[in-house]
A and B are shown apart, each in its own frame.
Chain A
Amino acid sequence: MEKNRMEELVEKYNEGLADPSEISELEKLIENGQVAFTSLKNLSTLEDMLTNSKDPVPSIELDARFYSMLKKESGKMKSSSFSWQWLIGNTFVPRLAFALTLLFIGFLGGYWLSKPQEKSEVASLTREVSDLKEMVMLSLLEKESATDRLKAVSLSNEMDNASKKVTAALLQTLNEDLNVNVRLAALDALRPYTRDSQVREELIRSITIQDSPLVQVALAELMVALQEKKSVKELEKLLKDEQTPKEIKERIQESIQTLI
């Protein structure tokens, strides 16, 4: 429609001269958004009056009724923690379910994937710890302090399967350490390895090396416990030795008797 015709229609309407066909023509223009209410002066004034008219005010009772209803409904909601309406309507729930499923799948996948790796990792860590203990033990055995050397010997007790290096170090301690207590502790630490024939032979050889009667008796008792008949020759050497105390000779004699 031409702009002039639109203006003409609006003007006619504002002057109250528009006929029904012109009004229906105007309606179409309003519907299409080509004519705004603001251009229809009489109507826009009336609409503004309506918009600006004072609003009726509700009574205070409405507030009281509303808040009591709200309290009641909140109480209902708290008492029934589960609601299907909430479950269906709330978008948070499906999201949470999805997240939990993903997490579960992740855990499952992670568990299966990492299982062999984890095992090998644990084995490697155990080996590393064991190596470290061994290193600490060997270095402690070289210390001047007897306490440190005792610590070293006791550290070997914590090892499930000591290497030959450790047993050799313990045997060396048994034969060469200046402190009797350390030597006794080394003998005690060697007990678990007496199944090893090499260790047993070294223990037998140690009998004549020992100058301490306490260690000699302990070795004799160990030989009895192990029923090591090969040790008899070595024990007899102690009996022949003049430096061996009388009481010790008696104990060793007893041991020899048991072994024979």
Chain B
Amino acid sequence: MIKVRDGDLERLGLLFERYKRPLYGFFYGMNKDQELSEDLIQNTFLRVLRYRHLFRGEGDFRTWLFHIARNVRHDHFRKEKIKTKDPLENWEHQLGHSENRYQEMEQDETQMTLSLAMDRLAPDKREVLLLSKYQEKKYKEIGEILGCSEGAVKVKVFRALQELKTVFEQLEKQR
């Protein structure tokens, strides 16, 4: 990233290749919308380019990237909130892209139940669990992204996991 910051923009391609999947996993996990998730990735990297001079190189690039990603997503939904949406449209949005849903059905049932349980969590809980996954359980770095202490992140993850466990068990019983 330091080379990108100093003007070697072509190097951004390497960072894109390395982080496009974790970013997609994060966005898709939050929105269940393939097209929107890809738009948000594009916007995230565009913002990385525009604000590359702000990268000091002191911290982890992944943390900085996810910080931007989270802001990009927030900005998107803040704009979307202004436009009042039809409730049915919202439902379609929640269902997500059919192609990806089909892929998920091919996965084993436990994974599918877990994915469904994640979808039923409140966005803030889902977000902290996705960040935990894609930040490889580095709670201090997640704290930097969310603007709270490492201890607070651990409590957030604990609560989110507890709720996930409850929903997961309910879905397993229904199966």
Within 141-171 of B, Cβ neighbours of A (below 8 Å) are at 150-152, 154-155, 157-159, 161-162, 164-165, 168
| Docked-complex contact A49 and B110, CB < 8 angstroms | yes
Q: Say which residue of B45, B154, B157, B162 sits within 8 Å of A69 (CB atoms).
A: B45
Task: Tell me the count of chain A residues lying within 8 A, CB to CB, of chain B.
Answer: 40
Interface residues of B, dominant DSSP? helix
Sampled A-B contacts (16; CB under 8 Å): A27-B159, A30-B155, A37-B161, A46-B164, A47-B157, A50-B129, A53-B111, A56-B24, A62-B20, A62-B42, A66-B41, A69-B42, A69-B46, A74-B9, A74-B10, A88-B53
Within 9-59 of B, Cβ neighbours of A (below 8 Å) are at 9-10, 12-13, 16, 20-22, 24-25, 28-29, 34, 37-38, 41-42, 45-46, 49-50, 52-54
Q: Does A79 sit within 8 A of B, measured CB to CB?
A: no
Known: A86-B53, A90-B53. A53 touches B115 (CB 8 A): yes
| Docked-complex contact B161 and A47, CB < 8 angstroms | yes
Known: A37-B157, A70-B12. A55 touches B24 (CB 8 A): yes
Q: How far is the CA of A140 from the CA of B23 in the complex (A)?
A: 89
Closest to A85 in B: B53
Q: How far is the CA of A74 from the CA of B118 in the complex (A)?
A: 39
Question: Which residues in B have their C-beta under 8 angstroms from that of A67?
Answer: 13
Question: Which residues in A have their C-beta under 8 angstroms from that of B150?
Answer: 33
| Docked-complex contact A31 and B25, CB < 8 angstroms | no
Question: Which residues in A have their C-beta under 8 angstroms from that of B159?
Answer: 27
Task: Tell me the count of chain B residues lying within 8 A, CB to CB, of chain A.
Answer: 52
How far does the Cβ of B149 sit from chain A's closest Cβ, in whole Å?
8
Inter-chain pairs besides A31-B152, A47-B161, A70-B12, 18 sampled, C-beta below 8 Å: A27-B158, A31-B155, A33-B150, A37-B157, A37-B161, A42-B165, A43-B161, A43-B165, A46-B114, A46-B161, A46-B168, A49-B110, A51-B132, A55-B25, A56-B103, A58-B34, A59-B38, A66-B41
Question: Which residues in A have their C-beta under 8 angstroms from that of B111?
Answer: 49, 53-54
Within 13-62 of A, Cβ neighbours of B (below 8 Å) are at 23, 26-27, 30-33, 37, 40, 42-43, 46-47, 49-51, 53-59, 61-62
| Docked-complex contact B161 and A27, CB < 8 angstroms | no
Interface residues of A, dominant DSSP? helix
Q: Does A116 sit within 8 A of B, measured CB to CB?
A: no
B interface residues (Cβ-Cβ under 8 A, vs A):
5-7, 9-10, 12-13, 16, 20-22, 24-25, 28-29, 34, 37-38, 41-42, 45-46, 49-50, 52-54, 100, 103, 107, 110-111, 114-115, 118, 129, 132-133, 137, 150-152, 154-155, 157-159, 161-162, 164-165, 168
Q: Does A110 sit within 8 A of B, measured CB to CB?
A: no
